[in-house]
C-alpha cells in the first residue's frame, strides 16, 4: 500500500506524461457552472463573477420542479467550458465574438441553504448569501422559483450599498399580485410587487419585457398609474427586440444607482423552452432571448443577473437548461 503522497505523485506523473488529461469532458467532474472553481462565499473578491444557486420552488402556483434548475443549468454549462478548453478559446458564430472562458475569472459558491417548507427562512438565507457576494464581486444567481428574486434583489442592494436599484424583468408574467387568497403574500407571482414596494426601488424603475398571457381586467390602468414600463411580446414582434430592450434599459437605469436583471425562462416560447412551471404560448424565440442577454451584457449599469424558473423534468431533451446556460454565457461574454 502506498501513502497519500505517493498516490498524488503517481497521478501527477500520469497527467504530465499523457496527452489530453488537461481536458475535462462535459459529463465528467464536479458540476459547477461552466466548470468554475469552487470557492467559499467569503473568498470571491478576486474574481470577475461568482455563481450562487437557490434550489427552492416552495412558492410556485402551477408546476413544481424549479428546485432542480440550478443543477440543470450547471450541467448544461459544462459543454461550453469543455469546448473552450478543448479548442483553446472559441469564435461565437452567433455574435461573431472571440471568447475564451478560461480568461473569465469565475467562481461557483454552490447553493444557499434552503428550507423546503419555510419560504421566509429561505428568503432570509438568500438575502444574506447574495449580500455577502455583492460586497465582493458580480453575483450570478440561479433559481429556483421567481420569488427567490425578491430576497436576492434585497441582498444585492444591501451588499453593494446601493440606495436605488432598477429592475429589468424578462418574463411572461408581471408578478405584480400583492396577495393571493390561496398562496398569501409570499409566492412567485408577487415578486415584482415586493421589489417595487421595497426601500430600494419603485414601479417607476421597473421595466418588463416579454409579457403575455392574462392579467387582471384593470392591469393597464394599474401600470399607467404606478409608472410600470410593460413591453409585451407583441411589442417585441412589432418594434423589434433591440428597440424594446433599449427603452426597458432606459426606464430601469434612469435615476438609479444600478440595474438588476432577472430572466424568467418562461419568457421564452414553450416550443423552445418547455422546462418551466408556468409556460405561456407566444413567447420570445431563442434568437430574441440571446439578443436580449447580449445587449444587457453591454450595459455597465447592470451589476447582477439571475436566471429563474428552469424546471428540467418537463423537458426530456434538456433544451431548456441548455438555453439557460447559453443565455448566461451570452451575458458574461459581453459583460466581461
Annotated binding site: 146, 171, 173, 175, 264, 266
CA gap 102, 158 in Å, rounded = 31
Among residues 214, 233, 325, 215, the alpha carbon closest in space to that of 273 is found at 325
Chain centre to alpha carbon of residue 317: 21
Q: CA 117, CA 125: separation in Å to the nearest integer? A: 14
Residues contributing to the annotated binding site for Mn(2+) = 146, 171, 173, 175, 264, 266
One-letter-per-residue 3-state SS of the chain: CCCHHHHHHHHHHHHHHCCCCCCCCCCCCCCCHHHCEECCCCCCCCCCEEEEEECCCCCCCCCCCHHHHHHHHHHHHHHHHHHHHHHCCEECCCCCCEECHHHCCEEEEEECCCCCCCHHHHHHHHHHHHHHHHCCCEEEEEECCHHHHHHHHHHHHHHCCCCCEEEEEECCCCCCCCCECCCECCCCCCHHHHHHCCCCCCHHHEEEEEECCCCCCCHHHHHHHHCCEEEEHHHHHHHCHHHHHHHHHHHHHCCCCEEEEEEEHHHECCCCCCCECCCCCCCECHHHHHHHHHHHHCCCCEEEEEEECECHHHCCCCHHHHHHHHHHHHHHHHHC
Instruction: Give the CA-trace dihedral at 54, 59, 65, 71, to 10 degrees.
Output: 0
Amino acid at each position: 500500500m502506498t501513502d497519500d503522497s505517493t498516490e498524488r505523485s503517481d497521478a501527477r506523473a500520469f497527467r504530465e506524461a499523457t496527452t489530453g488529461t488537461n481536458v475535462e469532458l462535459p459529463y465528467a467532474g464536479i458540476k459547477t457552472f461552466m466548470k468554475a472553481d469552487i470557492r467559499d462565499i467569503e473568498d470571491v473578491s478576486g474574481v470577475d463573477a461568482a455563481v450562487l444557486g437557490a434550489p427552492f420552488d416552495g412558492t410556485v402556483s402551477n408546476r413544481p420542479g424549479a428546485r432542480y434548475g440550478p443543477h440543470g443549468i450547471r450541467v448544461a454549462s459544462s459543454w461550453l467550458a469543455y469546448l473552450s478548453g478543448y479548442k483553446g478559446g472559441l469564435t461565437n458564430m452567433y455574435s461573431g465574438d472571440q471568447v475564451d472562458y478560461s480568461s473569465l475569472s469565475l467562481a461557483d459558491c454552490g447553493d444557499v441553504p434552503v428550507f423546503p417548507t419555510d419560504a421566509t427562512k429561505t428568503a432570509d438565507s438568500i438575502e444574506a448569501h447574495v449580500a455577502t457576494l455583492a460586497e465582493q464581486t458580480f453575483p450570478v444567481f440561479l433559481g429556483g422559483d421567481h420569488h427567490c428574486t425578491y430576497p436576492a434583489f434585497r441582498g444585492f442592494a444591501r451588499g453593494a450599498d446601493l440606495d436605488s436599484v432598477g429592475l429589468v424583468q424578462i418574463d411572461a408574467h408581471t408578478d405584480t399580485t400583492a396577495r393571493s387568497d390561496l398562496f398569501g403574500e409570499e409566492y412567485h407571482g408577487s415578486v415584482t410587487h415586493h421589489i417595487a414596494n421595497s426601500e430600494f426601488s419603485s414601479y417607476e424603475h421597473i421595466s418588463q419585457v416579454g409579457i403575455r398571457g392574462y392579467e387582471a381586467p384593470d392591469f393597464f390602468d394599474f401600470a399607467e398609474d404606478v409608472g410600470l414600463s410593460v413591453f409585451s411580446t407583441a411589442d417585441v414582434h412589432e418594434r423589434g427586440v433591440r428597440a424594446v430592450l433599449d427603452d426597458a434599459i432606459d426606464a430601469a437605469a434612469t435615476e438609479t444607482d444600478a440595474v438588476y436583471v432577472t430572466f424568467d425562462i418562461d419568457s421564452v416560447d414553450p416550443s423552445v423552452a418547455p422546462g418551466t412551471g408556468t409556460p405561456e404560448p407566444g413567447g420570445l424565440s431563442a434568437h430574441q432571448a440571446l439578443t436580449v442577454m447580449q445587449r444587457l451584457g453591454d450595459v455597465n449599469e447592470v451589476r447582477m443577473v439571475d436566471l429563474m424558473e428552469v424546471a428540467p423534468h418537463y423537458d426530456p431533451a434538456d433544451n431548456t437548461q441548455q438555453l439557460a446556460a447559453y443565455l448566461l454565457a451570452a451575458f458574461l461574454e459581453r459583460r466581461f
